[in-house]
Amino acid sequence: MVERRPVLTVFTHIVLILGVLVIAFPLYLTFVASTHTTQEIMQAPMPLLPGSHFFQNYMDAWNGTGAGAGSKAPVARMMMVSLISALIISLGKISISLLSAFAIVYFRFPYRNFVFWSIFVTLMLPVEVRIGPTYKVVADFGMLDSYAGLTIPLIASATATFLFRQFFLTVPEELVEAARMDGAGPMRFFKDILLPLSMTSIAALFVIQFIYGWNQYLWPLLVTTNENMYPVVIGIKRMISGGDSEMQWNVVMATAMLAMIPPALVVILMQKWFVKGLVDTEK
Amino acid sequence: MASISLKNVVKSYGIGKTANKVIHGVNAEIGDGEFVVIVGPSGCGKSTLLRMVAGLEEITGGEISINNRVVNDLEPSERDIAMVFQNYALYPHMSVFENMAYGLKIARVPLDEIKSRVDKAAKILELGPYLLRKPRELSGGQRQRVAMGRAIVRQPQVFLFDEPLSNLDAKLRAHTRLEIQKLHRELGITSLFVTHDQVEAMTLAQRMIVMNGGVMEQFGTPEEVYTRPATTFVATFIGSPPMNLLKNAPGGKPGTIVGIRPEHLDIASDGWALTVDAVEMLGAERLVYGRWSHGAGDELVTIRTDEGQSVPALGSEIHVNPRADRLHAFDASTGKRL
């Protein structure tokens, strides 16, 4: 806007600052809680300034040495599990969706539209609806407590397929023809031309799917029983044992803070990629 | 170098009774090293015909051969041809060099050979300083030259151009037209060039194919097409302003149409009487629109005069004389030249 009205500027800033406060305050509280002892947090007005047990609590969480009643799996291990499954899920989703979108857009085969719509229809079907049968299948294959069990059922993605299909449809037909004239076969065209052009969409999807994979809750809760295979999100849940036992909220909060770092990093690092990709886009 | 031969080439979309026929049997023999322009209004099938030669459209019927080899079932890359597209179709993520080298890379040409061929093409097209740039960093004319470079480095038997000049501005278009002519003189490669612009067609073609509604109306040199149009369609499509076609011209036989180009009508003191409807000044020439009234109604006649001649007043009566040796006669029912 070109308008210059001081009152409006002040007002918009107040709204923005309020919004930031509302969102940031719980995060801040989590951080504060992760720097105190359990006793300090349990006091009636919880302290609002960081305490002195930062390193102690984070080391406890990282190594699983906190003396709580719930699970004591080390966060280091859980972060590793989370990272590996999130990477498998996001990369798997991207490669499968790229290939299926490629097939749907560029190949003429019988029932092509039917295939596309049947993929599309699964969009309407949330994981929770098919969780029973999926669990049965995974259990019967003996994939419980394994990376395969954690990731494979989550890899197929109608959303990503649909997104890539829409993107491929915008690639000019003449580019395909030029590649044919140059003698590029279908996979060559896919690798040399389609893939580089899709880089921006791939980057965007990677961020979204990485966070999706990292934040998986319900599914890992069902298929993991072994502490060694807990993703960090489940780890937090298992740390909270419930009941009357004393909870090590400081360690739980430290774990929560740690669990937030990788997705935040992915967003921050990939953001540069987005911008680069967007600037590079060919009109 | 190669000749192209089209034998009764047919194209239709769909099958059975609902099939939509867009090319109705085209026959043409294009000689080795010839520059042939296919011209026609939009939707006449000229691009489809070119794309069938390129191998981008299936051939429904008939036979296309390049260098006496039937290519109906060959992939585009196996036909030894190169094509320049209307939107250039450059790979946006590759540099100019990579764009030109891509086809050779796939054909597994050795790297130093690729380099020397690209450098040679870049020199011909004056693209040397831009080899490392991406297409988006180039102007329209430069992109156009890269697209031609991509065609040249493959050293094909045949060049196919699909309206390559229509995205350029008028000045650049005239310039590129000359460059294409120069290129053709230097390389001597058989070329097929599709355009809807009759000026491009007339200036570039050694011979031209005029198409309308999926039918080849005439195949001849620009001069033949202009001086002896085969049909009324060709007569009005080539030449601007178009030829006057008169159903009831003085001296015309019944059932025939008489054609006379605006530049072959001279204003004189006697002759046909026309009423002046409008006068347009175009710089070097002036167009006079006259109304020819006769028993069966009015017909409009365009006359082209030099700027030096006196301007007839609107509504006044003028007399014109056609040059007798420049009259064309067409059959009124078929439109064919008599």
What are the C-alpha distances in Å from B165 to residues A39, A121, A232, B161, B187? 80, 45, 61, 9, 20
A57 or A178, which is more confident: A178
A73 closest CA partner among A219, A233, A264: A233
| Average pLDDT of span B145-165 | 90
Asked if residue A18 has pLDDT above 90, the reply is yes
Residue A181 has its nearest CB partner, among B54, B87, B92, at B54
What would the pLDDT profile of A220-279 be if each residue is shown by its tens digit? Answer: 888 888 888 888 888 888 887 665 566 778 888 888 898 999 999 988 888 877 666 555
List the single residue in B77, B87, B135 with the smallest CB-CB distance to A172: B87
User: pLDDT value at position A282?
Assistant: 46
For B252, residues 6+ apart whose C-beta sits below 8 A from its C-beta are B246, B258, B329
pLDDT for A201 beyond 90: no
pLDDT of residue A242: 63
Total number of domains in chain A: 1
Asked if the Cβ–Cβ distance from A174 to B87 is below 8 Å, we say yes
pLDDT digits (tens, 9 = 90+) for B173-186: 888 888 899 889 98
Q: Is residue A231 in a domain?
A: yes
Between B295 and B55, where is the model more confident? B55
pLDDT tens for each residue of B225-253: 999 999 999 999 998 888 998 887 776 77
pLDDT number for residue A93: 92
Output the six-digit token pair for B323: 């040059």
Over 80: is that where the pLDDT of A69 sits?
A: no
Are B77 and A182 an interchain contact pair (Cβ–Cβ within 8 Å)? Answer: yes
**Cβ proximity of A254 and A72 under 8 Å:** no
- Range from A123-132, B111-120, B152-161, B221-230 carrying the lowest mean pLDDT: A123-132
The answer to whether the bond into A6 is cis (omega within 30° of 0) is no
DSSP helix/strand/coil, A114: helix
Structural domain includes residue A259 = yes
Q: How many helices (H) and strands (E) does chain A have?
A: 15, 0
CATH 2.40.50.140 residue ranges for chain B: 241-331
User: Strands, DSSP E only, in chain B?
Assistant: 4-13, 20-30, 35-39, 61-66, 69-70, 81-84, 158-162, 190-195, 207-212, 215-220, 244-246, 256-260, 265-268, 272-281, 285-294, 297-306, 317-322, 328-331
At B206, the pLDDT band (50, 70, 90 cuts) reads very high
Q: How far apart are CA A9 and CA B25, in angstroms?
A: 71
Whether B56 and A177 lie within 8 Å, measured CB to CB: yes
- Total beta-carbon pairs less than 8 A apart between chain A and chain B: 59
Q: What is the pLDDT of residues A86-123, one digit of tens each?
A: 999 999 999 999 999 999 999 888 888 898 888 888 87
Q: Which of A174, A188, A197 sits opposite B89 (nearest CB)?
A: A174
Task: Read off the pLDDT of residues A138-196 as tens digits, 9 standing for 90 and up.
Answer: 999 998 888 998 898 888 878 888 888 988 998 888 899 999 888 888 899 999 999 98
A178, B87: Cβ pair inside 8 Å? no
The rounded mean pLDDT for chain A is 85
Kindly report the CATH number assigned to the domain that includes residue A266: 1.10.3720.10
| Residue A280 in this model has a pLDDT that exceeds 70 | no
Interface residues of B toward A, Cβ cutoff 8 Å, are 54-56, 75-77, 81-83, 85-87, 89-93, 102-103, 106-107, 135-136, 150
Query: Are A214 and A86 within 8 A, CB to CB?
Result: yes
Q: Which residues contact A60 (CB under 8 A, 6 or more apart)?
A: A66, A248, A251, A254
Strand order in the sheet with B328-331: B244-246, B256-260, B328-331
The reply to whether the predicted model has a pTM over 0.90 is no
Q: Is residue A250 part of a domain?
A: yes
User: The dihedral of CA A67, A71, A74, A76: what is its sign?
Assistant: negative
Residue A219: which of A264, A152, A123 has the closest Cα?
A: A152
CB of B326 within 8 A of CB of B249? no
B307-317 pLDDT per residue, tens: 777 788 888 88
Q: How many angstroms separate the CA atoms of A268 and A270, rounded?
A: 6
Q: What is the pLDDT of residues B263-309, one digit of tens each?
A: 898 888 888 888 898 888 888 888 999 888 877 778 888 999 887 77
- State how far the Cα of B64 lies from the Cα of B9, in Å rounded to an integer: 7
- The pLDDT value given to residue B240: 83
Pick from A72-76, A228-232, B109-113, B145-149: least confident: A72-76
**Chain-chain contact of B91 with A175 (C-beta, under 8 angstroms):** yes
Q: How far away is chain B from the Cα of A276, in angstroms, using its nearest Cα?
A: 13
Name the nearest CA neighbour of A92 among A9, A154, A4, A39: A154
CATH architecture of the domain with residue range B4-230: 3-Layer(aba) Sandwich (3.40)
Separation of alpha carbons B272 and B337, rounded Å: 24
Give A182 to chain B, closest Cα distance, Å.
4
**Which residue from B minimizes the CA distance to A179?**
B103
pLDDT at A67 over 80: no
Q: CA nearest B211: which of B51, B37, B59, B63? A: B37
For residue B253, give the DSSP letter. Answer: P
Q: Which two tokens stand for residue B42?
A: 């939009």
Give the contacts of B163 (CB within 8 A, at least 6 positions apart): B47, B86, B194, B195, B196
- Contact present, A147 and A82 (Cβ < 8 Å): no
Tokens (6 digits) for B184: 């053709």
Cα–Cα distances in angstroms (integers) from residue A179 to residues A188, A226, B53, B74, in the given order: 9, 51, 16, 15
Q: Looking at chain B, which residues constitute the CATH 3.40.50.300 domain(s)?
A: 4-230
B110 pLDDT exceeds 50? Answer: yes
pLDDT band at A283 (very low <50, low <70, confident <90, very high): very low
Query: Mean pLDDT across the stretch B23-28?
Result: 90
The residue whose two tokens read 């419980």 is A144
Q: What percent of chain B has pLDDT over 90?
A: 31
CATH superfamily of B241-331: Nucleic acid-binding proteins (2.40.50.140)
Lowest model confidence (mean pLDDT) among A21-35, A221-235, B183-197: A221-235
**Lowest mean pLDDT segment, chosen from A8-17, A133-142, B288-297:** B288-297
Domain range holding A253?
75-280
Classify residue A44 as exposed, middle or buried by CB count within 10 Å of its CB (0-12, 13-18, 19+).
exposed
A chain contacts of residue B91, beta-carbon cutoff 8 Å: 175, 178-179, 192-193
